[in-house]
Each structure stands twice: as C-alpha cells, then as structure tokens.
Amino acid sequence: MVPARTAAISEVHGKADEGAAPRAPNALPWLVLSGLVIWLDAVTKGLALEHLRLGEPVAVIDGLLNWTLVYNPGAAFSFLSDASGWQRWFFAALAVGMSALLTVWLARTDRRDWRQAAPFALVIGGALGNLVDRLVHGHVIDFIDTYWGTAHWPAFNIADSAIVIGAIGIALVGFLPKGRDS
C-alpha cells in the first residue's frame, strides 16, 4: 500500500502512524468560557433591568463608578445609535459572522494554547451576549458607568468587557513571541 493511503486509513480507524505526530485536540472546549460569559452577562443585565431605572445613576464608588441603566441601539461608543433601525440587524449579522469565524479558529487551535483560545472564547461570548439583547430587546443593555469628575466613559456591560479583554488578548498574542510551553 502507498504510505499516504495507509496513514489515511489508520487515521480513519483511530490508529496513529508510529512515525506521525499525534494531532493535538482542538480548543472547542473553550466555548464553555463563552457560555459562562453569556450567562454572567444575561444575569447581570437581568439584575440591572430589575433594580435600576433608566438613566438614573446609583453610586457604587463615589467619583468613579455608578450603576446606570441605558439602552444602546448602536455599537461601541453608541456608534450608529441614531440610525433608522437597520443597524440592529447589521450588528446582529456581524456578531454571528465573527463568532462563527472565531469558532472555526478555535477548532484549528491546540486546546493547550490558552493564550489564543481564551481570547477567542471571550470575544465569542461577548458578541453572543450582546446579540441576545439585540434580538430580544432591539438594543443592548448597558449599566456599568465609570467616570472621573465630570468625564464619563460610555456605559458598558459584561459582554462588552469580555470583547475588549479578548480583543486585547488577541492583539497581544499577535505581537508577543510564542513560548515553548503554551
């Protein structure tokens, strides 16, 4: 038999060639982290809807942090929030597309490569957390309001935090040299 064909048959039957390196398991189990982000985001948004009034700040750390319920029909920094409604479906499609792409990348990533897998999973969880809001409410629910004096950062939520942390992680992985022990 031809060696390549023998290897293919062995792989199909679950037997690894003696000379071939075993394929590492993929990073799809990291989607559990995505699920945790979606769950935590939904729980905290539910609490915000239940206990906060729209636009009325509740001081948590005076001079630094409030809980303030706001609705954002746009994206980060209220980008396109004043559009006529098409942005809801645009950002929903973008969330689905990015999550699908990152899931494919997770499937191609070694499970032990947490430096790459964890950021992918965080972005997926954050994107899908906000997608749930867009589909259910027609806007994203934000409630974390940070500020210094009179300067306020735009309100955000757990999903937004996961997206930002994940994006920073993806960027760092791209810039930092890969270590021997992932």
CA atoms of 48 and 42, how far apart (whole Å): 10
Task: From residue 5, give the alpha-carbon distance in Å to each of 2, 15, 21.
Answer: 5, 13, 16
3 state DSSP class of 145 = strand
133 catalytic per annotation: no
62 catalytic per annotation: no
* Catalytic hit among 41, 133, 142, 145: 142
CA atoms of 136 and 116, how far apart (whole Å): 31
Which of 37, 57, 67, 38 has the alpha carbon at shortest distance from 133?
Answer: 38
CA atoms of 120 and 124, how far apart (whole Å): 6
Active site residues: 142, 160
